[in-house]
Chains A and B, each alone.
Chain A
């Protein structure tokens, strides 16, 4: 018997053309069986029906810088409503020649937020940066010193107002919510009762009624001549409301902690404060990131409810331009624009929470 030894490598066969590349991908993902093929075809048909007219409406036939009268005769989108009224939509009643101030404040705020995304930047300097940043923003918006003309809070509106209400609302509501959750778990009866009553009362009424109470009923109890800014009242209502919801979410996280964690902390003699600070909260808060972000996102969108107490947030300034006869009827364009701004806010929050979850995950990969 003579052994056969192949001395040259067998020729490498390429996979059949139908199972690689674009065709292969399409075959295994889009046309995998008759049902999926049908779904693909139906979807393609709808996309073909929807996308070209949409692109045509939004871009090709659209008008970007004309008057309402010209728009009325055109077929495409009338983005002119946005370009013409952009400054009012974004800044509301803020004095027209001072618009650079809220603009810089917004840029500064976004810059700080973006820089704070990276957890490696979380140190004392960042705290200082935030403090300085907030003071600068306050001075820019309020004015009255350094030769800047004063602008009353009642003249704030549009995007700065929306950002102010949501960012300060959320950052103040979060710690308050954590405290309330801890209070509700407390063994001290009085504190526990207080927290339970607070949370249930606030959760038991809609945000709109809180806003109404703040804006209509509350001033009736104030002495003559004493007024508290409408924005501050709305801000407090939003904080109180959001905190109650966050408290319940955080309580869920606290209850998910195994008993052993508390006992282990006790056994090494940690005080209540240290137990919470070092052991319980870091784990509990991590668990509840997804529901917390849901609440923060919905709170962000809820700030548009301040319309009903006559604060001119982003949505209200946009709606106001729609009641000008020149721009009446272009509600699609206006609402699409506002939707994009809100989406950017919500999407970046959701995106960041995903990133945070990944970074904080202690599971083996």
Chain B
């Protein structure tokens, strides 16, 4: 019996001290020595391991940038591949520090789920892929079409909304598995394939005959994909937020991983503040003054990350579009560092 009491006492002690000992996420991450990031794991160009098991992608590089900002080393990250169902509970249960898993920012996720979304690192939207043979130029002409769509997703609901709003008849062909769905479309079982634009471009690029398929201009939903942290730790939120902004600002100021060392000599006060030549920004975030320099030096700016993972020269071949800087016709825009 005494042993039982002892066990209970020890357990209680563990529970209590663990509760008290919890400090901010930044201290916890520093003490642990690495960052734990939730990713998708199965989306090429965003987060996926290559044939050597090395993580690659836009979301992965965003995570590496956070690691570079904190540790001055882009590789102090552990990636945890999460399913759509798991991702939010994993963040809430503190199993991961930040979620970079092509997650769409929505009102309910911010409020009911208690999450904070950092600035968007990829603006996606739902579109339509069709065979050129259909001779259709706009999604509004798709009346009566059979549409391949994944069941139980916002994609399906968005498509239903679109066709209802435009008073068009449509026949959904629902197939549970993405791979099977795409096969069905390219085998001609449906006239239209609908999904996020980035996905459709990827599918088209590997189809037996890419030139035969065309993406329609309509984008029927907004999918701002952004890194996420949980409520309750504002300093941590700031770090993640300004890491994304640093990526965007670096591109805007023309600082790349190649010229960043030359830029240290720049006379421009904005660049001096950014790179920590004139100190202040790092201290404000609780990081090293070189944090932004490390991000650009080790990971690159947003443009470099984009080109490397999803840009026109990759297999996905996605044009910048909305994801171009605001100065170049897109909507990528970051707050000034001062």
- Taking beta carbons and an 8 Å cutoff, which residues of A are in contact with B? 68, 72, 84-85, 87-88, 91-96, 152, 154, 157, 215-216, 219-220, 223-227, 308-310, 312, 319-326, 328-329, 331
Contacts and interface: CB of A to CB of B under 8 A. Distances in A.
Given A154-B78, A329-B183, A84 B51 contact: yes
A219 B22 contact: no
Contacts of B22: 224-225
B19 A223 contact: yes
Nearest to B18: A223
Contacts of B211: none
A359 to B, nearest CB: 43
B48 A215 contact: no
Given A154-B80, A216-B86, A223-B14, A87 B52 contact: yes
B83 A310 contact: yes
B28 A326 contact: no
A322 B48 CA distance: 11
Contacts of A92: 49, 53
B52 A88 contact: yes
B94 interface: yes
Contact of A215 (B50, B52, B86, B206): B86
26 contacts: A68-B206, A72-B208, A84-B51, A85-B51, A87-B52, A87-B53, A88-B49, A88-B50, A216-B89, A223-B14, A223-B15, A223-B19, A224-B21, A225-B21, A310-B80, A310-B81, A310-B83, A320-B49, A323-B44, A324-B44, A324-B48, A325-B316, A326-B315, A328-B203, A328-B206, A331-B179
A96 B48 contact: no
Interface in B292-338: 315-316
A324 B74 CA distance: 24
Contacts of B78: 152, 154
Interface in B5-26: 14-15, 18-19, 21-22
Contact of B14 (A85, A94, A226, A331): A226
A87 B54 CA distance: 12
Contacts of A325: 44, 202, 205-206, 315-316
A321 B179 CA distance: 12
A270 to B, nearest CB: 33
A225 B18 contact: yes
Given A88-B53, A154-B78, A219 B93 contact: yes
Contacts of B54: 96
Nearest to B317: A325
Contacts of A84: 51
Contact of B51 (A226, A321, A323): A321
Contact of A326 (B41, B42, B206): B206
Interface string B33-62: 000000001111000111111100000000
Contacts of B203: 328
Interface string B51-95: 111100000000000000000000000101111001001101111
B94 A224 contact: yes
Nearest to A230: B80
Nearest to B90: A216
B40 to A, nearest CB: 10
Q: How large is the interface on B (under 10, 10 to 19, 20 to 34, 35 or more residues)?
A: 35 or more
Contacts of B206: 68, 325-326, 328-329
Given A224-B18, A323-B44, 20 more contacts: A68-B206, A87-B53, A88-B51, A93-B49, A93-B53, A157-B53, A216-B89, A219-B95, A220-B93, A225-B21, A227-B95, A310-B41, A312-B41, A320-B48, A320-B49, A321-B51, A323-B179, A325-B316, A328-B182, A328-B206
Interface of B is mostly: mixed
B52 A96 contact: yes
A319 B22 CA distance: 38
A155 to B, nearest CB: 8
Closest 7 CB pairs of A and B: A223-B18, A224-B22, A325-B315, A219-B93, A325-B206, A223-B15, A328-B206
B19 A224 contact: yes
A94 B53 CA distance: 7
A320 B80 contact: no
B200 to A, nearest CB: 12
Nearest to A326: B315
B83 A308 contact: yes
Best-surrounded residue of A84, A219, A224 (most CB of chain B within 10 A) = A224
B72 to A, nearest CB: 21
B31 to A, nearest CB: 10
Contacts of A319: 42
B28 to A, nearest CB: 7
A326 B50 CA distance: 11
Contacts of A93: 49, 53
Contact of A226 (B18, B28, B178): B18
Nearest to A224: B22
Nearest to A215: B86
A322 B178 CA distance: 11
A96 B53 contact: yes
B311 to A, nearest CB: 14
A108 B316 CA distance: 42
A283 to B, nearest CB: 39
Contacts of B42: 319-320, 323
Contacts of B208: 72
A232 to B, nearest CB: 14
Nearest to B31: A225
Contacts of A68: 206
A310 B86 contact: yes
Nearest to B89: A216
Contacts of B49: 88, 92-93, 320
Contacts of A96: 52-54
A310 B78 CA distance: 14
A93 B182 CA distance: 28
Nearest to B79: A93
B105 to A, nearest CB: 22
A310 B86 CA distance: 9
Interface in B165-217: 178-179, 182-183, 202-203, 205-206, 208
